[in-house]
Chain A
Amino acid sequence: MASFMFIFRGGVDAHDAKISPEEMQQHMQKWMTWFEHLEKSGAFKGQGAPLQPGGKSIGGPKKVVTDGPYGESKDLVGGYAIIEAKDLEAAVEIARGCPTYEKGGAVEVRLVAKAG
């Protein structure tokens, strides 16, 4: 088994200003069901978290601090989760089950490199 980081980008924030509270709750219910399913199958062991919006970015030789993150909100990282899967292909298959796409979100799947 290998560990993959699922990086969740975009979501309702960027997608639909007019989404109703009921639609939001229904969408969230889908996420909860998805994670429940991943926990039962053993692919998800509780590692992960949402990220607060805002924050700072530091870069360049002068270590310039700017308000970040920047870019389009559909590209903003909203959170991450660590998912156990046999290989990249299997991890991608898991990521396909994420409900985020119906709200314009995206999932980046990255293999966590092991030290040594």
Chain B
Amino acid sequence: MTTAQPLDDHLFRREAGRLVATLTRLLGPRHLALAEDAVQDALVRALETWKLSGPPRNPGAWLMRAAQNRAIDLLRHRGRAERLGPELERALAPAPAGPAEADAAGPEAPDDELGLMFSCCDPALPAAAQVAVILKYLCGFSVREIAQGTLSSEAAVEKQLFRARAALEARERLYEVRDLAQVRERLPAVQGAVYLLFGEGWHGAHPRQAVREDLCHEALRLAVLLSRLPAADAPSTRALVALFCLLAARLPARLDDGGQLLLLAEQDRGRWDRALVAEGLRWLDRAAEGEVPSRWHVEAAIAAVHATAVGFEATDWPHIARLYDLLWGLDPSPAVALNRAIAVGMAEGAEAGLRALQAIPDRERLVRSPFLPAAVAEFERRAGRPERAAASLEAALTLARNPPEAALLARKLAACRG
């Protein structure tokens, strides 16, 4: 026993994803449940051993060996080893220690994880189920953690996973990520699921903030992983990474010390992660290829304008409004129109903002969002009509989805009346 070197943050969770992916490739997706059990057992064994001995020099290789041994045990126990044949036994046999072992744990072999990622993003599954199954198998989250992160019940998550697991197990093998055509075909679905995963962590605050920030960082990790696959390293993927970097950089400033949600205008920009901003800008630079910008390009460009403004008052709102026009062309949704209207109001004045809010097509689809009345309130306040602002804020307050959001609106309401 010696004083151990500290473990990387989230090592167990990350390794869980990698191990499940590799075992699922070796055993075939129909043995997903067995792979899951083997990985869980290997992690418990690691905990029980390392807590007394300290972690080994190469924890990833140790875990892979333990999980493969455990998988063989489980297969033998179920009397399946014979039927599965010597080929599978060989495949599962842990590689001899040496350079091969280092390779197995190296960051340059993400094919299994990518194959699992593409398999999870089955267009036949609802988007929420895709996100849940990614969190479960690629990110090593428990059902409880997924429920906390996505603000849903454990029962709802179980249901989504049940469907997604069945779809996965029905596959002959993991998605072929070395096949350019296949990757291109499913890439938009994968990007969409990762984007949604980020959004789950980003939208709205929650008392259990840490879990939700984790979702953003997991989405960033998966997007970077995606960019390492040559066939998926499209400008749109790089733009997605850029977007996540630029938004995640703002996470440390989203709550004040008392856990209250802060508006962009109120955030202490000194707490933004400047290194992550710089990384995001580099990715955006690398994304500037190809003929047509994707929606991720435009969203990343918007995030970049915010990230590089020295203060809220210095924000280049006309530029942001133009970018939202562009985004509207790619995604004519009420949510985009709402953000566009806010940018117009900031650029051209409160009355222009109110007119733009009034003109949102399909605005009835926003009736359950507190952001529309909150935006109306903001421009009414700026136009010098606090009583109308207060009325809109009261309407927004009834739509607040969680306590920090309600607290923020109540704070603005009090300011209007004060």
How would residues 12 to 48 of chain B score, 1 for a CB under 8 Å from any chain A CB and 0 otherwise?
A: 1101100000000000000000000000100111111
Q: How far is the CB of B144 from chain A (nearest CB, A)?
A: 7
Query: Which residues of A sit under 8 angstroms from B13, Cβ to Cβ?
Result: 20-22, 25
Within 40-78 of A, Cβ neighbours of B (below 8 Å) are at 44, 46-50, 53, 78
Q: How far is the CB of A111 from chain B (nearest CB, A)?
A: 20
**Pairwise interchain contact A24-B6, C-beta atoms closer than 8 A:** no
Q: Does A4 contact B (CB under 8 A)?
A: no
**Pairwise interchain contact B3-A39, C-beta atoms closer than 8 A:** yes
**Pairwise interchain contact B52-A48, C-beta atoms closer than 8 A:** yes
**Pairwise interchain contact B15-A49, C-beta atoms closer than 8 A:** no
**Pairwise interchain contact A21-B52, C-beta atoms closer than 8 A:** no
Within 8-33 of A, Cβ neighbours of B (below 8 Å) are at 8, 11-13, 17-25, 27-29, 31-32
- Measured CA separation A13–B42 after assembly (Å): 11
B15's closest neighbor in chain A, by CB?
A: A21
**Pairwise interchain contact B15-A28, C-beta atoms closer than 8 A:** no
Q: How far is the CB of B157 from chain A (nearest CB, A)?
A: 13
**Pairwise interchain contact A36-B3, C-beta atoms closer than 8 A:** yes
On chain A, the number of residues with a Cβ less than 8 Å from chain B's Cβ atoms is 31
A24-B47 contact in complex given A32-B4, A39-B3, A81-B52, C-beta closer than 8 Å: yes
- For chain B, give the interface size range: 20 to 34
**Pairwise interchain contact B53-A25, C-beta atoms closer than 8 A:** no
How would residues 256 to 285 of chain B score, 1 for a CB under 8 Å from any chain A CB and 0 otherwise?
A: 000000000000000000000000000000
Q: How far is the CB of A14 from chain B (nearest CB, A)?
A: 10
Q: Does B244 contact A (CB under 8 A)?
A: no
Q: How far is the CB of B47 from chain A (nearest CB, A)?
A: 5
- Measured CA separation A23–B49 after assembly (Å): 16
**Pairwise interchain contact A49-B52, C-beta atoms closer than 8 A:** yes
A78-B44 contact in complex given A20-B145, A25-B12, C-beta closer than 8 Å: no
Q: How far is the CB of B38 from chain A (nearest CB, A)?
A: 14
Residue of B3, B44, B143 with most chain A CB atoms under a 10 A cut-off: B44
- Quick one: which of B12, B16, B51, B140 contacts A50, CB cutoff 8 A? B51
A32-B6 contact in complex given A21-B15, A21-B140, A22-B12, C-beta closer than 8 Å: yes
Q: How far is the CB of A31 from chain B (nearest CB, A)?
A: 4
**Pairwise interchain contact A20-B44, C-beta atoms closer than 8 A:** no
How would residues 130 to 142 of chain B score, 1 for a CB under 8 Å from any chain A CB and 0 otherwise?
A: 0000000000111
A34's closest neighbor in chain B, by CB?
A: B51
Q: Does B293 contact A (CB under 8 A)?
A: no
**Pairwise interchain contact A50-B11, C-beta atoms closer than 8 A:** no
Query: Which residues of A sit under 8 angstroms from B162, Cβ to Cβ?
Result: none
**Pairwise interchain contact A28-B52, C-beta atoms closer than 8 A:** no
**Pairwise interchain contact B2-A13, C-beta atoms closer than 8 A:** no
Q: Does A79 contact B (CB under 8 A)?
A: yes
- Measured CA separation A17–B141 after assembly (Å): 14
**Pairwise interchain contact A13-B48, C-beta atoms closer than 8 A:** yes
Query: Which residues of B sit under 8 angstroms from A24, Cβ to Cβ?
Result: 12, 43-44, 46-47
Q: Does B204 contact A (CB under 8 A)?
A: no
**Pairwise interchain contact B1-A47, C-beta atoms closer than 8 A:** yes
- Measured CA separation A17–B41 after assembly (Å): 9
Residue of A36, A50, A53, A78 with most chain B CB atoms under a 10 A cut-off: A50
- Measured CA separation A47–B250 after assembly (Å): 47
- Measured CA separation A36–B144 after assembly (Å): 31
Residue of B15, B16, B44, B52 with most chain A CB atoms under a 10 A cut-off: B52
Q: How far is the CB of B199 from chain A (nearest CB, A)?
A: 21
**Pairwise interchain contact A29-B43, C-beta atoms closer than 8 A:** no
A23's closest neighbor in chain B, by CB?
A: B142
**Pairwise interchain contact A46-B1, C-beta atoms closer than 8 A:** yes
Within 287-333 of B, Cβ neighbours of A (below 8 Å) are at none
- Measured CA separation A11–B44 after assembly (Å): 9
> 7 smallest A-B Cβ distances: which pairs?
A20-B142, A21-B12, A31-B51, A50-B52, A25-B12, A79-B52, A21-B16
> Can you list 16 A-B contacts (CB < 8 A)?
A12-B47, A18-B143, A19-B142, A20-B13, A20-B140, A20-B141, A22-B140, A22-B141, A22-B142, A28-B12, A28-B47, A28-B51, A32-B51, A32-B54, A35-B54, A78-B48
Given contact pairs A24-B44, A78-B48, enumerate 19 new A-B contacts (beta carbons under 8 Å).
A12-B44, A18-B143, A18-B144, A19-B44, A19-B142, A20-B142, A20-B145, A21-B142, A22-B12, A22-B145, A28-B12, A28-B50, A36-B3, A46-B2, A50-B49, A50-B52, A50-B53, A79-B52, A81-B52
